[in-house]
Amino acid sequence: MDNKTPDTPGTLPAMGRALLWLGRPDGAKKLVYALYVLCALLIVADFVFYKKSYLAIEDFPLFYALFGFIACAVLLVCAVVMRFVLARPEAFYAPKDVAPEPFPQDQAEKVDHDA
């Protein structure tokens, strides 16, 4: 029984056809370059357009980009610290856990999903 569908553009939905270029070898590279261009345009827009600021520090060029980067870095450091604070030993639940019943290998039907 063949469950695989052919990867022809005619059988894919519209969104799948629109994103086929990402599956090509240079597709991911193009996406990364597009993100670089978008970031560069946003940096230029930060210097060109007027921003109404409520605090003096908001007038600093690239304030929001730096603030976002620092906030993400702080979240990452907090997550690492919380891992050590909240982590439990591997055998934490072992005294109270229920032993699983053995899986009947002789009754298991092997199915090849790649066929």
pLDDT at 49: 87
The Cα–Cα gap between 65 and 58 comes to 11
CB neighbour burial string for 55-76, b if at least 16 within 10 angstroms, e if fewer: eeeeeeeeeeeeeeeeeeeeee
pLDDT at 2: 56
pLDDT at 86: 92
Residue spans of the chain under pLDDT 70 = 1-7, 95, 97, 99-101, 115
pLDDT at 115: 67
pLDDT at 4: 62
pLDDT at 28: 87
